Amino acid sequence: MTRTLLVRGMLVGIVAGLLVFALARCIGEPQVERAIAFETGMDRAEGKAAEPEMVSRKIQRGFGLLTGTVVYGAAIGGIFGIVFAFARGRIRIASPRALAALLASMAFVAIVLVPALKYPANPPSVGNPDTIGIRTAAYFLLMAFSIAAMVISFQVGHRLRSHFGAWNASLLSALLFVVIMGAVCHFLPEFDEVPAGFPVTLMWRFRVASLEMQTVLWATLGFLFGWLAERDSAWTQLRN
């Protein structure tokens, strides 16, 4: 059963990765190109030689981007499948479709939304290469805290259910998550490395595109995986 769910998660993740690639080509790549043009202009103004292209732009925005989104989708999907296998029968939700949607939305908040609010996606030419180490560490640390806070808040919410009822327990659980993550974000370092004159609208469009891509990824995972799980005959047999 675990194997089936893992493989299914990966397959759904590949589908999600393909959709994300198509979306990235439409709404993400124009912003990347503009940001690179800004970077080139900035280098030229400073009299620096243009960076030699190791991988051509055509490959980067084509096969490279496709590889990135599909591998990322498959990996996230695989982990989603394992988490679903663990949650099945442990989180007391009758419908597998609802369980998949719940898990995907919680994961989206913990893995995408919260990290993006503190450390939003940056287009090329934003970010000092000297701080890449600390920025990467802070980003993954925040993500780890966010996942842990989500699990803890969910558990606490579950315990409070018998006392306060489902609605109030969920609200308290969400409040706990917000308080924990507010404190964590307060203590993590801040980075402001946007070069002077970088277009604000370009930054906004790039970040919205990035969030839209992640939304499509997690929505596909949650709904498609849930739909397949609902159809699963093994599930129905187990339930009857």
Partner 1 sequence: MPQSAAGSIAIEPIFVPAIPVRELLPWAIFGGLLMLLAIYFVGAEQGATALIHGRGVHEFVHDGRHLLGFPCH
Q: Can you give the binding site for partner 1, defined by CB under 8 A?
A: 1-3, 6, 24, 28-29, 32, 54-55, 59-61, 64-65, 67-69, 71-72, 74-76, 78-79, 82, 85-86, 88-90, 92-95, 98, 102, 112, 115-116, 119-124, 127, 129, 132-133, 135-137, 139-140, 161-162, 164-167, 206, 209-210, 213-214, 235, 238-239
Residue with tokens 């469009």: 205
Instruction: Give a three-class secondary structure readout of 36-80.
Output: HHHHHHHHHHCCCCCCCCCCCHHHHHHHHHHHHHHHHHHHHHHHH
SS3 88: strand
Give the shortest CB-179-to-partner 1 separation in angstroms. Answer: 24
Please, what sign has the CA dihedral across residues 81, 70, 116, 215? negative
Contact present, 83 and 147 (Cβ < 8 Å): no
Give the shortest CB-26-to-partner 1 separation in angstroms. Answer: 12
Q: Which residue, 151 or 179, has its beta carbon nearer to partner 1?
A: 151
Angle at 105 between CA 183 and CA 12, to 5 degrees: 135
Query: Tokens at residue 206, please?
Result: 């790039």
Give the shortest CB-104-to-partner 1 separation in angstroms. Answer: 14
Q: Which residue, 144 or 179, has its beta carbon nearer to partner 1?
A: 144
Give the shortest CB-193-to-partner 1 separation in angstroms. Answer: 10
Separation of alpha carbons 35 and 122, rounded Å: 10
Cα of 215 vs its chain's centroid, Å = 8
Q: Which residue, 59 or 183, has its beta carbon nearer to partner 1?
A: 59
The b-or-e profile of 7-37 (16+ CB within 10 A means b, else e) is ebbbbbbbbbbebbbebbeebbbebbebbbe
**Backbone Cα Rg of the chain:** 21
Q: Which residue, 44 or 63, has its beta carbon nearer to partner 1?
A: 63
Q: Which residue, 201 or 237, has its beta carbon nearer to partner 1?
A: 237
Give the shortest CB-235-to-partner 1 separation in angstroms. Answer: 7
Give the shortest CB-3-to-partner 1 separation in angstroms. Answer: 6
Q: Which residue, 154 or 206, has its beta carbon nearer to partner 1?
A: 206
Q: Which residue, 141 or 179, has its beta carbon nearer to partner 1?
A: 141
Give the shortest CB-47-to-partner 1 separation in angstroms. Answer: 21
